A and B are shown apart, each in its own frame.
Chain A
Amino acid sequence: MAKRKLIADAVNGPKGKKVKKDIILQPVVSSDDPIPRQIKWTNKQRTLIFSSRGISYRTRHLMIDLRTLMPHSKPEPKMDRKDKLFIINEICEMKNCNKCLYFEGKKKQDVYLWASNVPKGPSVKFLVENIHTMSELKLTGNCLKGSRPLLSFDKAFSSEPHWQLLKELFVQIFGTPNHHPKSQPFTDHVFTFSIQDNRIWFRNYQILAEDGSLAEIGPRFVLNPIRIFAGSFGGATLYQNPNYISPNDFRRALRRQKADKYSHRVDTKISQQLRKPEFSYQMDPTDEVFNTISENDVKRK
């Protein structure tokens, strides 16, 4: 028993006087009596969520979904694309935010996401792929608006330094601070971050029952990291994804593949002709001398 307590202490930090002040709620609270107000709100993270001009409707919906799910987020009008990105630091400062999610739309089809720790960094630029918003009807779950999510990470997040850094950034950005005034006092959904194919896959599940049955709430998206910068929206590059192919290059390759269809065919024809030998096998004509005809062969003829 003592050992267990020790472990719990190690996990939760030493139990000092401050902990005793913390108001502990019963597992089941009836709504008749008012919920005691928490005074403690130590982890004051505020995330600014906004975008550039020229994002598609899908990205806009995703942004709105994130705002509804994160009570510690703040909105901001779309930023003009021509502005330099480091202005965002000032915007965050004005909005009293220390984290930022900035969606950048390019060519009306590619979506990039900046996740940054303002003002000291680091910041990460992602390519966002496979966006599904919360309004899709196949996602059947639902949760309280503003309840705190559990953050679930893949084991692979502790394998490499850049994944570790990303994990910490996600915890600070997506985690709703304890006792946030706008948050609800129950835990009824999970944010899942998994690494697959060098990308981060985001999922949001509702906890249906305590035994671990879940229903997906949405949104869904895949983040393909491009670069990690030391500063916020700039600074020295700490990491560059070698597996990243920009969507422009990808599309170009596809188009080229299409265009090269004819020339490929011609080339293969020529090379086939060149490779074809004149004789399949060189036989010695004198070998046939020893071919004797038996009686059966004659009969058959």
Chain B
Amino acid sequence: MKATRFVHERVNMDNDSNSEDEELQEALAAGIVKPGLIVEEQRKTFLNNKEGLKDKFKEFSLDSLKWIERLELTNDPAPTLGINETDGDKLQNDDFNRELTFYKQAQATVLEGLARLAKLSVPTKRPEDYFAEMAKSDDHMKKVRAKLLEKKTSLEKSEKAKKLREMKKYGKKAQQEVLQKRQKEKKEMLESVKKFRKGQIDKINLFDEPIERQPKQQQQLKGKQQFTPNKRREFKNKKFGFGGQKKRSKYNTADSAADLRDFSARKAHGKGPANKKFQGKSQGKRPGKSKRKVMKNKRK
């Protein structure tokens, strides 16, 4: 790459002038210039006529005037504690620190300037009852104040909201803990009740009331008094009923009278069985009692 660029340069040089080219060749041979480094640069010259500037300064300056006429001060920024100084190069892009240096410079000027003015007994403080037109109108200042207030309130609001959010987060956690605790208590209680029932423990606390197990003999007596029927009796009770009124149990009721499931017109008029299925093969033949019963049950 370097070589090709050099060739390019050479070609350009040939077009320009031969004498320069020769000089360049000599320089190359001597090793002063290295190939690839020859780039023609357009250098602009910037004027800075220091003598002229100084003369002009002397010509028009009003240094001879008293300080009170000029009120000009040259200061370094006032020193502050606690704020780390940043480099001058970085300042231009660091809004906060840049403005701070300006502020500090103004501060230094104010401190020195006011002292000087006081020495010259020039008033600096405006009396309370001195009213004059201000640079910014009252309307404008009202707006400024409103804006400041708005900013303050919005900040407060957001802070409050933040706090509330945090509280909520914390509250949720607390509630969860409470729920878990309650569940645990319930579980423990149930377990203790179970144990109590099984007879593993003799004493439990139910709703802050201690319950003690009663003596065993009483329980046994109680058990003897209780009557439990055997299985057979139970079934029979279920089948035929146990206790209660037996009178009028076979009477027709409105429901039973309205029940027409068993009714068949054919059968009622003496024209064979109710179902056509049985018409051919079993005409006039009545099935046995048990069969009839089964059939009846099936139909139901």
Contacts and interface: CB of A to CB of B under 8 A. Distances in A.
Interface of A: 8, 11-13, 24-32, 42-43, 68-69, 117, 120-122, 134-135, 137-140, 142-146, 148-155, 157-158, 161-162, 164-165, 167-169, 171-172, 175, 177-178, 184-188, 190, 192, 194, 196-197, 201, 203, 205, 207, 210-212, 214, 217, 228, 230, 236-242
A149 B72 CA distance: 9
Contact of A28 (B69, B103, B127, B134): B127
B245 interface: no
Interface string B38-79: 000000001111101110110111111111111111111010
A203 B71 CA distance: 16
A157 B69 contact: no
A186 B125 contact: yes
A161 B57 contact: yes
B65 A42 contact: yes
Given A152-B109, A162-B53, A187-B117, A27 B125 contact: yes
A36 to B, nearest CB: 12
A203 B109 CA distance: 13
A150 B109 contact: yes
B130 interface: yes
Given A26-B123, A28-B127, A145-B134, A42 B69 contact: yes
12 contacts: A28-B125, A121-B60, A137-B143, A139-B144, A150-B72, A175-B71, A178-B69, A185-B123, A186-B126, A194-B101, A201-B102, A230-B56
Which 10 pairs across A and B sit closest by C-beta, in order of nearness? A152-B109, A161-B53, A197-B92, A242-B46, A151-B72, A212-B107, A240-B46, A150-B113, A145-B133, A43-B69
B66 A13 contact: yes
Contact of A205 (B74, B98, B103, B116): B103
Contact of A43 (B65, B73, B122, B127): B65
Contacts of A188: 124, 126
B18 interface: no
Contacts of A194: 101-102, 105
Interface of A is mostly: mixed
Interface in B101-123: 101-103, 105-111, 113-114, 116-123
B208 interface: no
A245 B290 CA distance: 121
Contacts of B105: 152, 154, 192, 194
Given A186-B123, A186-B126, A134 B135 contact: yes
B201 to A, nearest CB: 63
A93 B255 CA distance: 127
A187 B71 contact: yes
Contact of A148 (B71, B88, B148): B71
Nearest to B45: A240
B133 A196 contact: no
B141 interface: yes
Interface of B: 46-50, 52-54, 56-57, 59-76, 78, 88, 91-92, 98-99, 101-103, 105-111, 113-114, 116-127, 129-136, 140-141, 143-144, 147-148
Contacts of B102: 192, 194, 201, 203
Contacts of A138: 147
Given A120-B59, A196-B88, A31 B129 contact: yes
A31 B130 contact: yes
Contacts of B120: 12, 24
Given A26-B123, A187-B117, A172 B148 contact: no
Nearest to A32: B129
Contacts of B124: 27, 186-188, 207, 210
A220 to B, nearest CB: 9
Given A185-B123, A207-B110, A240-B48, A12 B132 contact: no
A152 B75 contact: yes
Contacts of B132: 144-145, 184
Nearest to A8: B119
A135 B73 contact: no
A228 B53 contact: yes
